[in-house]
């Protein structure tokens, strides 16, 4: 097969190498500054890259914060329309987190990598380990013995909460779902309702947000001690009021794309498997 790998971070760079090793012809575009594997053909244009391609692997997330193609290995701003027009109707397209407007640009809407449950599991694991690496880097003390609150109870929390507990942290999981709170309580975690976090944040030295929407506004951040670390893992625009955090002396930071930064090869394998799974589904 002919694969077009367009833009993306370390995950797509490693993905290109994996596809090449599997015996496919691999072209790349908007990756001119990337350490591509020998044998990957770097193209000058999206049209050259995508011409006759059987499959196009696009970034995760598809767009950057400015609405351009997510292409950190390219010095140029790449317009999604240029890429969408280059992709032929017979090319199967995969991307991550494409909104409705972005999907509508393509004659054949992209299939989301996250349609694969196996991908979601591996991506959550890589995100959880990456989050721990960030917390260890940002903290001037060991994590053991600290109080941590995780807001949101999705797959990332499912991977992160037990790993933080294994490091000796006392972990509270906050969720709007009574069923999820009951499940985490049964596993031995403290729980709180995200809708009324009052009290749960008092004395917490670490807060990790995984929930979309403004979860940690000024009224809640004020309960944290000065110097607390708040790590926002939610998709842009995130769930933390960073201006309020600074005013209260809280160390707040965001860490997008952790799998691509902390475990790019593992993340690339998950992307490859999601693509192969999606291609098999289309044959059925």
- Residue 108 and residue 83: Cα distance in Å, rounded? 12
30-83 pLDDT, tens digit per residue, is 999 999 999 999 999 999 999 999 999 999 999 998 899 999 999 999 999 999
Structure letter (DSSP) for residue 67:
S
Cβ count within 10 A of residue 158: 20
- Residue 120 and residue 236: Cα distance in Å, rounded? 18
Contact yes or no for 124/114 (Cβ under 8 A) = no
Sketch the domain layout of the chain as residue ranges: 2-115, 123-260
Give the pLDDT mean for 160-172.
Answer: 98
- Residue 233 and residue 56: Cα distance in Å, rounded? 27
Under 8 Å CB-to-CB from 164, ≥6 apart: which residues?
132, 143, 148, 150, 171
Architecture label for domain 2-115: 3-Layer(aba) Sandwich (3.40)
146-160 pLDDT, tens digit per residue, is 999 999 999 999 999
- Residue 121 and residue 29: Cα distance in Å, rounded? 28
231-245 pLDDT, tens digit per residue, is 999 987 889 999 999
Give the pLDDT mean for 205-227.
Answer: 95
Domains 2-115 and 123-260 in one fold: yes
Q: Report pTM.
A: 0.89
126-147 pLDDT, tens digit per residue, is 999 999 999 999 999 999 999 9
Contact yes or no for 161/189 (Cβ under 8 A) = yes
Given CATH 3.40.50.720, say whether it is the number of domain 123-260: yes
Whether pLDDT at 284 is above 70? no
- Residue 187 and residue 204: Cα distance in Å, rounded? 20
């Amino acid at each position: 097969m002919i694969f077009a790998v367009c833009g993306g971070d370390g995950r797509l760079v490693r993905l290109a190498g994996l596809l090449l090793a599997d015996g496919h012809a691999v072209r790349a575009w908007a990756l001119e500054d990337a350490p591509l594997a020998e044998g990957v053909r770097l193209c000058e244009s999206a049209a050259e890259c995508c011409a006759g391609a059987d499959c196009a692997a696009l970034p995760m997330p598809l767009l950057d914060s400015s609405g351009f193609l997510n292409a950190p290995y390219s010095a140029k701003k790449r317009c999604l329309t240029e890429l969408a027009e280059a992709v032929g109707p017979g090319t199967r397209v995969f991307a991550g987190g494409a909104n409705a407007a972005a999907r509508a640009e393509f004659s054949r809407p992209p299939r989301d990598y996250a349609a694969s449950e196996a991908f979601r599991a591996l991506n959550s694991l890589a995100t959880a380990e990456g989050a721990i690496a960030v917390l260890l880097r940002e903290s001037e003390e060991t994590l053991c013995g600290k109080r941590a609150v995780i807001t949101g109870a999705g797959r990332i929390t499912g991977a992160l909460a037990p790993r933080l507990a294994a490091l000796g942290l006392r972990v509270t999981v906050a969720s709007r779902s009574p069923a999820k709170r009951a499940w985490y309580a049964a596993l031995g975690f403290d729980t709180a309702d995200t809708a009324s976090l009052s009290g749960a944040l008092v004395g917490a030295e670490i807060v990790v947000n995984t929930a979309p929407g403004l979860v940690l506004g000024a009224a809640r951040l004020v309960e944290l001690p000065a110097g607390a670390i708040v790590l926002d893992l939610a998709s842009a625009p995130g769930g933390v009021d960073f201006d309020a955090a600074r005013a209260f002396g809280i160390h707040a930071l965001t860490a997008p794309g952790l799998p691509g930064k902390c475990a790019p090869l593992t993340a690339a394998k998950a992307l490859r498997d999601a693509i192969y799974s999606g291609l098999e589904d289309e044959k059925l």
